Structure 1
Amino acid sequence: MKTEFLWGVSQSGFQFEMGDRFNRNLDTRSDWWYWARDPVNLKKELVSGDLPEEGINNYELYPLDHSLAKELGLNAYSLNLEWSRIFPCPTYGVEVDYELDGNGLIKRVKITRETLRKLDGIADKNEVHHYTRVLTNLKKLGFKVALTLTHYTHPIWLHDPIESRDTNLQNERNGWVSQKSVLEFAKFAAYLAYKFGHLVDIWATFNEPMVMVELGYLAPYSGFPPGVVNPQSAKQAIINIINAHARAYDAIREFEKEAPIGIIANNVGTSYPKDPNDPEDIKAAQMTDFFHSGLMLQALTKGDLNIEFDMETTIKVPHLERLDWIGITYYSREVVAHSEPKFPEIPITGFKGVPGYGYSCPPNELSKDGYPVSDIGWEVYPEGIYNSIKAASEYGKPVYIMENGIADSKDVLRPHFIASHVAYIERALESGFDVRGYFHWALTDNYEWAMGFRMRFGLYSVDMITKERIPRKESVGVYREIVGNNGVTERIRREYLGRWGL
């Protein structure tokens, strides 16, 4: 690896923060807070019934978690700050001037020092001070800080998931369906740059925004808010999110001149045709990749917005071309076959997943290709991370692996998982791809959204009663050895990589 390569772990706020003994640090103004306890969701078993306030208490125990990361030899740490904590009440009253382009997209948002002063007047100072302490502690320990603006969650005043579900997004607080969310996100971005810019080395606007759209607007069985089927609103949300990234980029850059700004995409180049000799299956795999990440990355790197969602009809929007780096998350592949578009309004949904591969496997068995499968039912397919890096690199930006991990409570597969994926990253570097960091998901067990605490991704298990961090010794040892060597050692290669031919 390069000497400046970043080795880190990733976490999100909502999944890690809550769980203190006296419930003093609850985030009750988030859409996910309401979603996780909604009676309808519980009755339909769309959510687990586990509650985030029963979690691992990173809010109070962050110094311990930072020290564990330091003991691993890591030099980077990725996290987000919760929008609903910093602004529990609406920011609509802080008005800003903005300009639309000929396509109705927001071209410019004017955010001034007076805007920031007003935002500071309504921000929750206790939470601002808390996050200042968190980031300062990371810097004091020598970490490069990668800060994401939002990781799935939103303030309830921006997105009420229950109202949105019950009205099929005809309500006022309907999140990314509304263009006003672009303005509020730009203000949030500017405020974070203003308050925390001196503590941040790398910025990301969104974490996996297409997960929010695909699961929330098109897959009501997934357990993600708002749990509707509304293809037209999904299209509008995608466009607004792309627009919001660009305006947040400008807002950060106005007050933070140097730190690179990117976005974290999921499933970049991870789709494979069921029949590699069938042109229709090949086209289905191309559609899958374009739907999950290509449409967004094409707009943000080239200014070409595929307005008809058909991989062909684009409009030139130069003010969307705002991206310094691409973050990718990689857990498994997708194997797809041709189908008629699931949603006629979205022509690029002409694909269907094939059971027995990728994310569609029986837990703890073998995939149809004979690869091991994790607790969550995801196939271990390390070669896919190389292909994902290759696909992301085609956009001409540096690449960071911002999430990579496995649900493996018994720690049987994780050592092999880490070693094999890092080995393929090394192969990508040898091929000349510009990969600059690897962030493992996750340091500790956490709240896995609709699945609650059932899936254990941590290098350290967590006793949910005492909140004790208990090392999964083999995985901790493997990751520590890789980091200390700045790459896979010969011992690890012999013991863990035999079956992968690495």
Structure 2
Amino acid sequence: MLSLPKEFVFGGATAAYQVEGATTEDGKGPVCWDVFLKEQGRFSPDPASDFYHEYPTDLALSKEYGVDAIRVSIAWTRIFPNGTGELNKKGVAYYHALFAECLKNGITPYVTLHHFDTPLNLHQNGDWLNPKTIDAFVAYADFCFAEFGSQVKKWITINEPASIAFGQYVVGNFPPNIQYDLPKAIQAMHNQMVAHAKVVNLFKEKDYTGEIGIVHILESYYPAEDAVENLAAANTCNVLYNQFMLDAIYKGYYDNDTMFVINEILKQNDGKLTILPMDLTELAKAAKQIDFLGLNYYQSHFVQPFHGESYIHHNGTGEKGTAVFRLNGVGERIYNPAIPKTDWDWVIYPKGLYDMMLYIKNRYPNYQKIYVTENGLGDKDQVVNGEVLDQSRIDYVAIHLKAIEQAISSGIEVKGYFIWSLQDMFSWTNGYNKRYGLFYVDFDSQKRIPKKSAQWWKELSESTKKG
């Protein structure tokens, strides 16, 4: 039996590009994914979950099934179709209507400013490698704070900066589809930390009301076997994927132990990192002002050293046992057959969530509070006799909430959990064959069917609030 605080937030998570559809409707401008997906020809983001039109249905279901907060993102190019310049009033009106509907249903919106969907022209000019993107992002954020601040009190700067950088330049499953360029990925991560810091500082300087944070994907790393070289590989991975950016947001600089590892990686990959003095000024200022950390957690990894030709195969089809990850100078992921994994080779390991939160508490005592802003099970859900009996999702969420309960008992300030996802939606690298939602979506008819997990969620949310 789970025992969580009465004030614990039970949220559902979405992202604009994955749920809205309507990618060219009412003046919306193009983003980096539009061209990339069209060139691939595998799947389309239209109509996705048609949240652009169906949001009243989804929010009514949220209210009925015990979802008291929702993560949504603003599609930058619905507001500024070219990323900068001309304002799209229809896009502004849409988000006002969306936030009003959230509040009408008693659902608190947690709003992300950037969730993977950089405007196309900014992307084509270097995306986060170009400082002009940072300037454009700050101006866009300032507009959103001023325009929507009466409705939105919880703001998130960037969703998963590491996923952006590694998807674009290492794994190659995000546009521009570059692989194994670690120096570019590291520079893109740093530049996103500067963008985040500038937006946090602007939010505080202008005295906008509410709270502001960032969402990181954080995965725990463990040695494949208890050997010195494997311990070193686990540390290298942790520094690269987690500590590098956590240092930026909480210390306001990169600690010596962090830069030692980063410089070793750069050396082995013939690269360098540019950090300007003004970058560190912004980071230091923001580190004292950030209000919360959003932690996205899906899996952990067991690793050993790897020095050789990098090779990554992304399992995007759900054919278990096909994922491969070997990165020169970083490490190789080894699967432990004793630990279960999903059809997409994501290791099911809730201990990694607890360990990550404990690590944050110990290394960054100024962290204030954490929301688990994404966690959930992607599965091949099917409707049988009008029902979706997704017991595996219930089991998955329950064991991760148990890890959160343990963290709270250990004195870690965890304030809420947002299931990924509220409804079934379009997936960046899987299209529509991987479902996460509490609400099943028939993508042809857009009919919603609450799954068994939705009923379980409702009962858990209501019983928690009763105490």
Return the offset for 1:458.
0.9
Give the SS at the match of 2:157. Answer: strand
Other-structure match for 2:33: 32
Pick aligned residue for 1:203 from 151, 155, 169 = 155
The alignment status of 1:480 with 2:461, answered yes or no, reads no
Amino acid at match of 1:185: F
| Structure 2 counterpart of 1:123, one-letter code | L
2:89 to 125, 132, 136: 125
Aligned-residue offset at 1:300: 1.6
Q: Gapped runs of 5+ residues in structure 2?
A: 264-274, 311-326, 382-389
Question: How far apart, CA to CA, are the structure 1 residues paired with 2:108 and 2:185?
Answer: 35
What is the RMSD computed on CA atoms of the aligned residues?
Answer: 2.5
Q: 2:303 aligns with which of 320, 336, 341?
A: 336
Name the SS of the counterpart of 2:377 in structure 1: coil
Q: Which runs of 5+ in 1 are unaligned?
A: 43-48, 94-121, 161-172, 358-367, 490-502
Do 1:10 and 1:78's aligned partners in 2 also have CA atoms closer than 8 Å?
yes
Give the conservation status (yes or no) of the 8 Å contact 2:28–2:91.
no
Deviation at 1:459, TM superposition (A): 1.2
Distance 1:63 1:212, change over 3 A: same
Residue 175 of structure 2, aligned match among 204, 225, 239: 225
Does 1 or 2 have the higher relative contact order (CA < 8 Å, sep 6+)? 2
Alignment partner, residue 317 of structure 1: 280
**Which residue number corresponds to residue 376 of structure 1?**
344
Per-residue deviation, 1:351: 3.1
Which of 281, 295, 304 is the equivalent residue of 2:230?
Answer: 281
Which TM-score applies when normalising by structure 1? 0.78
2:212 pairs with 1:261:
yes
Corresponding position of 2:187: 236
Q: Which amino acid aligns with 1:145?
A: P
CA positional deviation for 1:27: 4.7
8 Å CA contact 1:190–1:255 kept in 2: the answer is no
Decide whether aligned partners of structure 1 residues 472 and 305 sit closer, same or farther in structure 2, where only a CA change above 3 A counts: same
Compute the displacement of 1:289 (Å): 1.6
In the superposition, the TM-score normalised over structure 2's length comes to: 0.84
CA distance in 1, matches of 2:207, 2:328: 38
Query: For residues 146 and 70 of structure 2, what CA distance do their matches in structure 1 show?
Result: 20
- Cα shift readout 1:283-322 (whole Å, capped 9, x = no counterpart): 2112212211211110121122369953477999343032
1:194 corresponds to 2:173: no
1:177 aligns with 2:129: yes
Question: Structure 1 residues 215 and 488 mapped into 2: Cα distance closer, same or farther (>3 Å)?
Answer: farther
* Counterpart residue identity of residue 259, structure 1: G
Cα separation, partners in 2 of 1:236 and 1:380, compared to 1, 3 Å: closer
Change in 2 beyond 3 A, CA 1:312/1:209: closer
Q: How many angstroms apart in 2 are the aligned matches of 1:341 and 1:139?
A: 54
Query: How far apart, in 2, do the equivalents of 1:487 and 1:273 lie?
Result: 40
Equivalent position to 1:295, from 231, 237, 244: 244
Q: Which amino acid aligns with 2:338?
A: D
Q: Is the 8 A contact 2:339 2:347 kept in 1?
A: no
Number of the residue aligned with 1:6? 9
Quote the residue 2:266 is aligned against.
none
The 1:334/1:26 distance shift into structure 2, 3 A limit, reads farther
CA offsets per residue over residues 13-38 of structure 1, 9 Å max, x none?
A: 00000169xx7468551111111111
**CA displacement at 1:385 relative to structure 2:** 1.6
* Aligned equivalents of 1:387, 1:488: Cα separation in 2: 29
